[in-house]
Structure 1
Amino acid sequence: MPESRTTTDTAGPRSGAHPPLLEVRGVTKSFGGGRRRLTALDGVDLRLGRGETLGLVGESGCGKSTLARVLLGLERPDAGTVRYDGVDPFALRGKDLLNWRRRVQMVFQDPFASLNARMSAADLIGEPWRTHRDVVPDARARDRRIRELLSLVGLRDSDAHRYPNEFSGGQRQRIGIARALALDPDVIVCDEPVSALDLSVQAQVLNVLSELQSRLGVAYVFISHDLSVVRYISDRVTVMYLGKVVEHGETDDVFDRPQHPYTAALMSAAPVLDTSRATDDQEIRLKGEIPSPFDIPSGCRFRTRCWRAEEKCATEVPPVVVRESGGAGDDHTALCHFPLEARSAWA
């Protein structure tokens, strides 16, 4: 078994052999003030390389959407740094900021609400060019590019003149993906992009995203509650709880050998469709409710629901435990006093 060790660094990935496309270090974001101050992000670290997918998981209220807004430049962090190719987007102004916004785009959760019902598919896909006019300079080039984007996401040229109410949910999400690709971004933040779709349609949209990544080299930050979807599409996984990264590592390593009790509980609660991955472990039932983000527990913030918690969990902030990956990928890190080493440790 790979060696484990502890460190005082935050629970984020190491920088790796190659410079990352996106790197977040120590990002904190709070809302409100005084006794009603809510810390949505608390020292978050993450890294995204070119052409890879980072899965972001955790229960509702863990900070995933706030982190997405920070990555898109819509929320300024209170502390910490965000770098795209070494550039701080929050230091940019004017044309430099406008040019940077091309590089990071969004695919929204609800394909029924995210498309303007009064606009045709062609108008929706070409909408970003109304702001970034120099990307596709003339009408003929725009028509050609719209047809190319429709083809990329598996739609027909004739679909360009149809309206959202004429498409199925999966087709609408394909239009949303085409719109996100219109500016040739380096990163696309996907916020629950298949949760509103039927199961068979989810698979189709996920395959479209995977094919586009192979073809275009675009990187994804993929936010989802569905762990089977995250496992299918992600290269690495970051697990969040109450604004904190509690575990990070290569996807298969995190899913097959979770170190943090919270991650193990999430895996235990997820339906298993692949019987080859099924185990005889008992389901983990967490006690209590998720604490209020206005009153985060002392020490380990997961301790009030953790079946392995001891007295030190209430008084000491847990260290980062690092399990060597044994390969070229990131090490597997977890923020825990008593990390799990195997599924047999769940009980």
Structure 2
Amino acid sequence: MSESRATTAAPGARADGTQESAPLLEVRGVTKTFGSGRRRMTALDGVDLRIGRGQTLGLVGESGCGKSTLARVLLGLERPDAGTVRFDGSDPFALRGKELLAWRRRVQMVFQDPFASLNARMSAADLIGEPWRTHKDVVPGAKARDKRIRELLALVGLRESDAHRYPNEFSGGQRQRIGIARALALDPDLIVCDEPVSALDLSVQAQVLNVLSDLRTRLGVTYLFISHDLSVVRYISDRVTVMYLGKVVEHGDTEDVFEQPRHPYTAALLSAAPVLDTGRDPRREIELQGEIPSPFDIPSGCRFRTRCWRAEDRCATQAPPVVVRERADGAEPHTALCHFPLEAETAGA
């Protein structure tokens, strides 16, 4: 990779100045606040994001960093105060009536708790077919719907006989498979997965992740995968976006981010992840000092400076630049929002 540089290059720019193919989802400068007056909280602050067709983008960060708010904006459940959202080139917030209903078919969600997200009084078949009550033209006719339910059950690794069972008769992993089948019922282009395996045992997590990976290969579905578990994110994601207090602080190819983190916060997150290697160099363990600042009172300059061991005076007065590390293959570059980005030899030191 070439030498890093500070820039404000548009996401998706190649090293040769050309642009990658249009992404399925592109977010630019999205800001979202809640409250009013002195009790105004900035949940998202100028967020940029892009996901290519058929890709999986992992979204990570501590609780309260804005991940769920961003997911709600992308699902059309919250309207941003500023910025733009483009889904397949269109602004979903400009749609009305039938156009809006058609767009909602294209974006679905898999929830964190597979038991709380399923109605205990509905059978698996009823749960999977529930979206068709609103989108009646997707699978018209009772026979066609029965056939499609069987197909969806098979896709997520369940049996046809499971169609008439109820949520309490399934294990946690099986319930999450039902949730995935329900998300697939409308043939979406994008599925937002909000901590979809955090409530499951490790062995079951692996099974559900394999189901999601297989579905992406077979159906070409695109994922936004939100998780606190870095090992899960590394396994399933093509690219990773790291958020801190409402801002994207690092973004890049999964292996680039995990092997050569540029932002001190990312390095600290990776350092805190448990590993089996008992011979791990203790110098690579980073212990952050202090608490996460309140979103009602975000620090000036760099918002991470109050916990950063590399912070200097200008970090308190100047907003950090976007530092770009170009990729030799011309793919989307590795970016970090930092005055003093880490290099390979210092990351985690």
State the TM-score bracket (shorter-chain normalisation): over 0.9
Give me the whole-angstrom Cα distance separating, in 2, the residues matched to 1:278 and 1:189. Answer: 35
- How far apart are 1:9 and its partner, in Å? 5.3
Could you list the structure 1 runs, at least 4 aligned residues long, displaced by more than 2 angstroms after superposition. Answer: 12-16, 275-282, 343-347
Q: Structure 1, residues 42-75: CA drift from partner, whole Å, max 9, x if none?
A: 0000101111100000000000000000000000
CA contact (8 A) 1:13 1:333 kept: no
Give me the whole-angstrom Cα distance separating, in 2, the residues matched to 1:339 and 1:153. Answer: 42
Structure 2 residue 209 is matched with structure 1 residue 206:
yes
- What letter is aligned with 1:257? Q
Give me the whole-angstrom Cα distance separating, in 2, the residues matched to 1:328 and 1:8. Answer: 17
Q: Structure 1, residues 288-322: CA drift from partner, whole Å, max 9, x if none?
A: 00000000000000000000000000000000100
Give me the whole-angstrom Cα distance separating, in 2, the residues matched to 1:72 and 1:279. Answer: 42
- What letter is aligned with 2:179? G
Give me the whole-angstrom Cα distance separating, in 2, the residues matched to 1:253 and 1:46. Answer: 17
Where in structure 2 are the equivalents of 1:137-216 lying within 5 Å?
137-216=140-219
Where in structure 2 are the equivalents of 1:1-347 lying within 5 Å?
1-8=1-8, 14=13, 16-273=19-276, 275=277, 281-347=283-349
Give me the whole-angstrom Cα distance separating, in 1, the residues matched to 2:348 and 2:340. Answer: 11
Greater CA drift, 337-346 or 225-234: 337-346
Give me the whole-angstrom Cα distance separating, in 1, the residues matched to 2:9 and 2:325. Answer: 14
Q: Structure 1, residues 239-285: CA drift from partner, whole Å, max 9, x if none?
A: 00000000000000000000000000000000124x59966643100
CA contact (8 A) 1:112 1:169 kept: yes
RMSD, matched Cα: 1.6
CA contact (8 A) 2:128 2:185 kept: yes
* Residues 345 and 187 of structure 1, relative CA distance in 2, 3 Å threshold: closer
SS state of the match for residue 210, structure 1?
A: helix
Give me the whole-angstrom Cα distance separating, in 2, the residues matched to 1:328 and 1:168. Answer: 45
Give me the whole-angstrom Cα distance separating, in 2, the residues matched to 1:277 and 1:230. Answer: 24
* Residues 40 and 14 of structure 1, relative CA distance in 2, 3 Å threshold: farther
- What letter is aligned with 1:250? D
Give me the whole-angstrom Cα distance separating, in 2, the residues matched to 1:19 and 1:73. Answer: 21
- How far apart are 1:346 and its partner, in Å? 3.6
- What letter is aligned with 1:317? A
Give me the whole-angstrom Cα distance separating, in 1, the residues matched to 2:347 and 2:174. Answer: 44
- What letter is aligned with 1:243? G
CA contact (8 A) 2:13 2:20 kept: no
Give me the whole-angstrom Cα distance separating, in 2, the residues matched to 1:97 and 1:331. Answer: 33
- What letter is aligned with 1:215? R
CA contact (8 A) 2:55 2:222 kept: yes
TM-score (structure 2 length as normaliser): 0.96
Q: Structure 1, residues 169-193: CA drift from partner, whole Å, max 9, x if none?
A: 0000000000000000000000000
CA contact (8 A) 1:103 1:187 kept: yes
How many residue pairs get aligned? The number is 345
Give me the whole-angstrom Cα distance separating, in 2, the residues matched to 1:343 and 1:140. Answer: 62
How much identity, in percent, do the aligned residues show? 82
TM-score (structure 1 length as normaliser): 0.97
* Residues 13 and 259 of structure 1, relative CA distance in 2, 3 Å threshold: farther
* Residues 231 and 278 of structure 1, relative CA distance in 2, 3 Å threshold: farther
SS state of the match for residue 247, structure 1?
A: strand
CA contact (8 A) 1:6 1:319 kept: yes
SS state of the match for residue 158, structure 2?
A: coil
* Residues 277 and 321 of structure 1, relative CA distance in 2, 3 Å threshold: farther
Give me the whole-angstrom Cα distance separating, in 2, the residues matched to 1:92 and 1:132. Answer: 17
Greater CA drift, 15-24 or 255-264: 15-24
- How far apart are 1:221 and its partner, in Å? 0.1
SS state of the match for residue 97, structure 1?
A: helix
Greater CA drift, 320-329 or 212-221: 320-329
